[in-house]
Amino acid sequence: MKVSARNSIPATVRAIEMGAVNAEVTLEVAPGLEVVSVITKEAVENLGLKPGRRAYAIIKASSVMVGVE
């Protein structure tokens, strides 16, 4: 798999909450560290996503904000 995004993080699908059109997919990228993505139901089906399946969190953004307290 080749993608232009610089942040491609191996992950495991932990949960999928299906809605009428979209699905919320929770990916565990490290123990206790999760990334949540909202994608279409069709994408979930086409990718064969199921809890426990290995996947990638691919993050591409034109800006990343950093904050401190």
* pLDDT tens figures, 7-53: 899 999 999 999 999 999 999 999 999 999 999 999 999 999 999 99
Q: Into how many domains does the chain fold?
A: 1
What integer pLDDT is reported at residue 15 of this predicted model? 98
Return the pLDDT at 3.
85
Say if 67 falls within a structural domain. no
Whether the predicted pLDDT of 64 surpasses 80: no
pLDDT digits (tens, 9 = 90+) for 4-15: 888 899 999 999
| CATH code for the domain in which residue 18 is found | 2.40.50.100
Asked if the model's pLDDT at residue 62 lies above 80, the reply is no
Would 34 be classed as within a structural domain?
yes
Q: Which helix (H) or strand (E) holds 41?
A: helix 41-47
The DSSP secondary-structure symbol of 44 reads H
Question: Residue 25: which domain range?
Answer: 7-59
Extended beta strands in 1-69, E state: 7-18, 22-30, 33-40, 54-59
